[in-house]
Structure 1
Amino acid sequence: MKEAQYQKTANGSNVTFTVTPAGRPSLGCSGGLFYILLGFLAGMLVGAVVNETVGMLVGVGVFAWCLLKVDFRPKLHRTPSSFVVSPDGITVKGMLYPAADIHHLAIRNHYDRSQEIVLTGQTISTGTGMGVDIKHALQQVTYLLQLEVGGKAHVLAAGLDETTARGLHTDVLRAMGAQGSVA
């Protein structure tokens, strides 16, 4: 999996941050099992309508497509972004948010908003276990850095791992000259 990264380009007191999100996460055994089941289901459906050989080929094709292409992260976490930071504020998508109006610069995880399932040694269904495993894999690369202004959150960058998100947060604060006042 490709790691998330960002680049800083200084232009006077302005610093442009260009952020590349992490690559598609490997979903491990649970993801593979999910893809196999999905391919098997597609193959059965086509096999029932056409014939078994075509159904098997479709099933293998669906499995291969899922394995190579499917990224379950929201689009926001798959899209590169850039923004400009200066002591005056932060400019995102052409909109300047003055430093005096910024309430908070926060690191969030897309999947931390949902209820956590705690496995306590009891028997759980395969589907639940697969879901927990897949969610855990996705959590590793769905951190985002958001700017909170006027009671609204504005995403600066997404698709980050935790370490990259923390580094970006620190560098944005340094570029603003804030050293923690909006942390």
Structure 2
Amino acid sequence: MSRASYRKERQGTDWTFETRPASPPFPWGSAALCFVGGFALFVILAGMVSRGGSEVLPFVALFAFAIPFVMWKGPKAARYRRPASFVVTPTAIRVAQNVGDAELKRAGIHRLILRNHVSDGELAYSPASTSTVCVGSGFAGMTAVASAVVATALSDTGRQAAAHHMKRLAKVSWRLDAESGGRAWTLAGGLDESTAYGLMTEVGGLIGMRDAA
């Protein structure tokens, strides 16, 4: 699994930041349980059909391989997880968008904040002290969704494996947002907490942000 990183380059008074997200973890526990559950399901269903199991093999393969793949590369894991670049000047942050660059004026930036869409964690920028991570109940909802099919076959073990995967995914799902004009502009995503916090500290220092209210 590749680690998250960022680099910066100075051009006069401007700083260009380029970030690379961490790759999402593979759900080994859920994959193993899906394989075991799929094999057991194949044995059971094979005895109920007339062709020795060939009719149910596609369904079993879907059960055994599709679920771990979705947990690994699906929308939840892929969200915000892409390389990004932005420019910080003494008076603004320039963010590259699909429809062109957006410039967030320093006077209009309400705060810099780290967010985690998997764990519902938040960490606001504060140059004078260490902020506190506020973790919501995101694990409960996502675990229920991710483990629904696995838990049908292997109940508690399936839920535990899915919960463990979600915790691992949350560790590399931090993003840095700049709030301006009544919306959040994502500067970078798919980061671990240390990389995200370092990025936020550098950006906040360069643009002269004060403590978050």
With the length of structure 1 as denominator, give the TM-score of the two structures: 0.76
The aligned length equals: 173
Structure 1 residues 125 and 38: CA distance shift in structure 2, 3 A: closer
1:121 is matched with none
1:120 is matched with none
Alignment of 1:105 with 2:108, yes or no, is no
Query: CA shift at 1:150, angstroms?
Result: 2.2
The percent identity for this pair of structures is 31
Distance 2:188 2:50 in 1: 46
In structure 1, the gaps of 5 or more residues are: 118-123
2:94 is matched with 91
Alignment of 1:181 with 2:180, yes or no, is no
Structure 1 residues 145 and 50: CA distance shift in structure 2, 3 A: farther
1:81 is matched with 84
1:52 is matched with 53
2:123 is matched with none
Post-superposition CA distance 1:109-168 (Å, at most 9, x none): 112335255xxxxxx833332331121111111000000112211111000000000110
Query: CA shift at 1:51, angstroms?
Result: 5.7
Structure 1 residues 165 and 64: CA distance shift in structure 2, 3 A: same
Structure 1 residues 164 and 15: CA distance shift in structure 2, 3 A: same
Contact 1:38–1:63, Cα closer than 8 Å, also in 2? no
1:33 is matched with 32
Structure 1 residues 37 and 148: CA distance shift in structure 2, 3 A: farther
**Secondary structure, in 3 states, of the residue corresponding to 1:52?**
coil
Further displaced range: 131-140 or 13-22: 131-140
Distance 2:160 2:63 in 1: 25
1:150 is matched with 181
In structure 2, the gaps of 5 or more residues are: 121-135, 141-154
Structure 1 residues 83 and 153: CA distance shift in structure 2, 3 A: same
Contact 1:39–1:63, Cα closer than 8 Å, also in 2? no
- Output the aligned Cα RMSD: 3.5
Structure 1 residues 37 and 145: CA distance shift in structure 2, 3 A: farther
Query: CA shift at 1:87, angstroms?
Result: 0.6
Contact 1:105–1:182, Cα closer than 8 Å, also in 2? no
Query: CA shift at 1:171, angstroms?
Result: 1.3
Aligned AA (1:32): A
